[in-house]
Amino acid sequence: MSQAGSGPATGETHAPGAPAPQGGVPLAVPDIGPLERAAVIEALDSGFVSSVGPAVTEFEQEFARTVGSTYAVACSSGTAAIHVALRLLGVEPGDEVACSDFTFVGSSNPIAYQGARTLLIDSETDTWNLDPALLRQELARRAASGEAQPRCVEIVHVLGQPAQAAEILEICAEFSVPVLEDAAESLGAGWSAGPLAGRQTGTVGTIGCFSFNGNKIATSGGGGMLVTDDAELARRAKHLTTQAKVPDVGYLHDEVGYNYRLTNLAAALGLAQLRRLPEFVAAKQAIAARYDAAFADLPLTLPPRIEGMDATYWLYSVLLPSPADRAPFLAHLEERKIGGRALWRPLHAQPPFADSTLVGGEVSTRLFDTGVSLPCSTQLSEADQARVIDAVVSYFS
């Protein structure tokens, strides 16, 4: 299996929606049922297939209610949502944006689209997400030396695991830097204790972005959502995603916008999936609990379990004892037709971001060198879960 691919962590081992080859267990495939089928056919029959139609607005409203934000603006992808968010936060050519080093490249490509530079901050080992201590150290160092602060801090809640957002928000408030949340992988995750109790990922920063790519916990085929509690930012987001067209005046565009609006057809699918989100989250959490119990005595680092944080375990991932284990472990899974996949190469090791300023980098490197994701489709049968468990256990025996 190739480990060099920079694509999202699922969906490439086996095409999403396709059965695994020769009776294998795919890494993760979408869960599309009769509700989705009916919604898409209804949207088709309505004639509203493109970027105007009732499902887009309905999806936005229901999404905002689901995650607990005031506004939601549907976009053509998560990457597009992040791009618009960066522009709304005033990111311009030559600026710097602080970003988690350990993430999928969809987090950082939009920073480059804006002509800005990435200031990469390593992860901490508890959540595998941006390390607040390193962030504080870097922002304090800049404040002391009179260096410019980054235009914003982009945190990512990887693999459905909330970041240490309360602490990060406090640090960013102290240095007056806005927080953008990349919640592409963490729809449904949140906090049940502490200062953010009752809140969901994506709703605690100035802007949050989600993805409905085919490999995410809920899909619209392809799509994204930008959420905020700020009416003006929401208005501007909608404006920028629709070519910055000024209403009621023939073809007047007051700035350079984008064709980033979600289609009605995609929104219909996304809305149907959103209604099943509690079911999806419960299924992911049940698979994670079963794997955790089965792997408890193995020399693996299991996914984070943190009091007060409700992770979804969107993509169940473990850390192997040593980097030397990764290739043989993946080969062992492949022989048994079990879809496994390495985690992301950190951004600092990606050619387009190699000249970023890097703070830390050892944790993200270790996550990449030893991390492997295991099959965790929401409809994964008990028998298939047992096959995955047997394959993992047998590697160590």
Interaction of residue 129 with ligand PLP, rule CB under 6 A: no
What's the rounded Cα separation, in Å, for the pair 27 and 32?
A: 16
Piece in contact with ligand PLP (CB under 6 A), picked from 34-42, 60-68, 101-109, 115-123: 101-109
Cβ of residue 184: shortest distance to ligand PLP, in angstroms? 3
What's the rounded Cα separation, in Å, for the pair 18 and 373?
A: 19
The one among 185, 325, 369, 384 contacting ligand PLP by CB under 6 A = 185
Q: Which is nearer to ligand PLP, 372 or 392 (CB)?
A: 372
Whether 205 and 179 have beta carbons less than 8 Å apart is answered as yes
DSSP code at position 375: -
Cβ of residue 81: shortest distance to ligand PLP, in angstroms? 8
Whether 217 and 225 have beta carbons less than 8 Å apart is answered as no
Piece in contact with ligand PLP (CB under 6 A), picked from 37-45, 77-85, 117-125, 359-367: 77-85
Interaction of residue 182 with ligand PLP, rule CB under 6 A: yes
Tell me which residue of 259, 239, 27, 209 sits closest to 106, measured CA to CA: 209
What sign does the CA torsion over 246, 249, 255, 260 have? positive
Query: Counting every residue, how long is the chain?
Result: 397
Interaction of residue 104 with ligand PLP, rule CB under 6 A: yes
Interaction of residue 106 with ligand PLP, rule CB under 6 A: yes
Q: Which is nearer to ligand PLP, 124 or 181 (CB)?
A: 181
Concatenated DSSP letters for 123-144?
Answer: BPTTTSSB-HHHHHHHHHHHHH
Residue of closest CB approach to ligand PLP: 78
What's the rounded Cα separation, in Å, for the pair 78 and 81?
A: 5
Interaction of residue 213 with ligand PLP, rule CB under 6 A: yes
Q: Which is nearer to ligand PLP, 77 or 114 (CB)?
A: 77
Q: Which is nearer to ligand PLP, 209 or 392 (CB)?
A: 209
Beta bridge partners of 72: 227
Interaction of residue 181 with ligand PLP, rule CB under 6 A: no
Paired sense of beta strands 341-342 and 117-121, if any: unpaired
Q: Which is nearer to ligand PLP, 132 or 224 (CB)?
A: 224
Interaction of residue 264 with ligand PLP, rule CB under 6 A: no
Q: Which is nearer to ligand PLP, 156 or 163 (CB)?
A: 156
Euclidean distance between the first and final Cα of the chain, in Å?
A: 23
- Sequence-distant (6+) residues with CB within 8 A of 304 are 126, 127, 128, 161, 311
Cβ of residue 370: shortest distance to ligand PLP, in angstroms? 20
Cβ of residue 9: shortest distance to ligand PLP, in angstroms? 7
Binding site for ligand PLP (CB under 6 A): 8, 77-79, 103-104, 106-107, 156, 182, 184-185, 211, 213, 224
